[in-house]
Structure 1
Amino acid sequence: MAAITRPGGVSKKQRDLTTDEKKLWRRVAASVKTRRPLPAEVEEAEEKLAPKRAVPTAASKAPAPAPAPRAKPAPPPQHRGNEKRVRRGKLEIGASFDLHGHTQESGRAVLERFLRAAHRRGDRTVIVITGVGRGGVGVLRRCLPEWLAERDIRPLVSGYAPAHRAHGGSGAFYVFLKRPSETSD
C-alpha cells in the first residue's frame, strides 16, 4: 500500500517519493478541482516534471455541430377530465391498436393510418399500445409523443395521456382525437 503523501513530495513517514509515486501523485492532483491554490513548491515541482503540451489553436478546434431540432411532443389532454372519464369508464374507447412487432418506420406509418380511420369514424378516444420495452425504455413508447406532434398527425390529435393499468398501464396511451369538424382534413 502506498504511503499517503503531502504536497512537497514527502510521505507521512518523511521519506522521499519514488519516481512512480511522484507521477501517480501528479495524475491524482491534476484530476482534483480545488479552490485553494497549490503551494508554490508543489507548482514548481509540477512545472519541472510535467511534460510540455501543445496548446490547441483556434483553427484546430472545430465547433461542435448544433443538435438537430426535435419536434415538440403533443401537449397532454387540454382537460384532465377526459383522461379521468376514460379511466372511470364514462368515456367510450372507440378502438385500440397494438404496435407490437412493428419497427419505428412501419409503426409510424400504421399509426397514422389507424388514427385517420378512427377520426373518419368519429372516434374521440383510442388506445395505442406501444409496450414498455426492455427495461422500461421502449423505442416505440419513446417515439409515440414525437409522432403525435408531427405535422400530418397533429391536426387529428387533441392530446394524449398514459393509460390506466386496466387499459395497458405504462405500455399504452390514450389518444384523444378532435371532432372531424374541428380539423381541416
Structure 2
Amino acid sequence: MRRKGPSRDENGLTPEDRRIWTRVAGSVVTPRTRKAARVTPGAETPPEIVVTPIERPRPLVKTSPKRTAVAPPPEKRPSPNKPKPAPEDLEPRRKQRLSRERDPIEARIDLHGFGRFEAEDQLRGFLISCQARGMRAVLVITGQGRMGGGVIRSAFAEWMHSPVLRGVVSGFTIAHQKHGGNGAFYVTLKRRT
C-alpha cells in the first residue's frame, strides 16, 4: 500500500520542489549572459591607450655584417649495417694482470660435457648476462679434448668473432696454466652502453 503524499506533476516534482527549482534556475548565470553583461550598449568606452616602442640602446661594440648561413656538411654517421669490430687478442699486460689475479676474474663457465651447439648457446647467454651485470673479465673453460683438438676449443675463436658477440666481447686469449692453460680462455667484456 502506498502512502498518500503531496500531489506530483508529470516530472515527479511536488509544488514545493517546483518552487525551489524555479528559484535556483533563475539564479544561474550562463556564459552567454555573463558576456552580455560585460558588453552593454551605451556604456562608456575605456580611453584608448597609445603604445610607443622604446628605442633600444646601440651596442658599444661594432658588429660585423650578417653573414648568410652556410649549411654544414652532412655528418658522417656510421652505417647501421656496418659490422662491429672483431674482438682482439688481449694485451700482454692485461693477460698478466688476469693470470696473477690483480684484475679479478668475476665469473667462470665450464663447457665440459656440452655438445658443440649447446656449448655455443650456453657461452653466448653467459657472456651477454655477464656484460649486463657489469662484469669486465671472465674465464671460459673449454677443455682440451682428446689428442689436444677439442671440438669446443677449436670452435671458440669462431664463436667470439660471431656478430652476436662482437658487441659484447672486447678481447680473449688463452689462460695461464693455473687457470686451465690451453683448455681455458680469458675473455674481457665491453662496458655496457
* Corresponding residue of 1:173: 185
* Corresponding residue of 1:76: 89
- Residues 43-72 of structure 1: CA deviation (Å, up to 9, x unaligned): xxxxxxxxxxxxxxxxxxxxxxxxxxxxx9
- 3-state secondary structure, aligned to 1:176: strand
- Residues 66-119 of structure 1: CA deviation (Å, up to 9, x unaligned): xxxxxx974212x32211110111100010000011111101111000001110
- Structure-2 change in CA distance of 1:135 and 1:73 (3 Å): farther
Please say if residues 107 and 137 of structure 2, whose CA atoms lie closer than 8 Å, have aligned partners that are also in contact. yes
Of 91, 103, 111, which residue of structure 2 is paired with 1:91?
A: 103
Unpaired runs of 5+ residues, structure 1, are 1-71
Q: Take 1:109 and 1:138, find their aligned partners in 2: how far apart are those partners?
A: 17
CA deviation after TM superposition for structure 1 residue 154, in Å: 1.3
- 3-state secondary structure, aligned to 2:167: helix
Q: Take 2:112 and 2:128, find their aligned partners in 1: how far apart are those partners?
A: 19
Of 127, 133, 151, which residue of structure 1 is paired with 2:139?
A: 127
- 3-state secondary structure, aligned to 1:102: coil
- After TM superposition, the runs of 4+ consecutive aligned structure 1 residues lying more than 6 A away are none
Q: Take 2:181 and 2:190, find their aligned partners in 1: how far apart are those partners?
A: 23
The reply to whether residue 142 of structure 1 matches residue 154 of structure 2 is yes
- 3-state secondary structure, aligned to 2:101: coil
Larger radius of gyration: 2
CA deviation after TM superposition for structure 1 residue 120, in Å: 0.8
The reply to whether residue 156 of structure 1 matches residue 168 of structure 2 is yes
* Corresponding residue of 2:3: none
CA deviation after TM superposition for structure 1 residue 178, in Å: 0.7
| Structure having the larger proportion of residues in helix | 1
Residue type at the aligned position of 1:75: E
The equivalences for 1:32-47 within 5 A come to none
* Aligned residues between the structures: 109
- Structure-2 change in CA distance of 1:73 and 1:156 (3 Å): closer
- Structure-2 change in CA distance of 1:73 and 1:154 (3 Å): closer
- 3-state secondary structure, aligned to 1:100: coil
* TM-score of the superposed pair, with normalisation by structure 1: 0.57
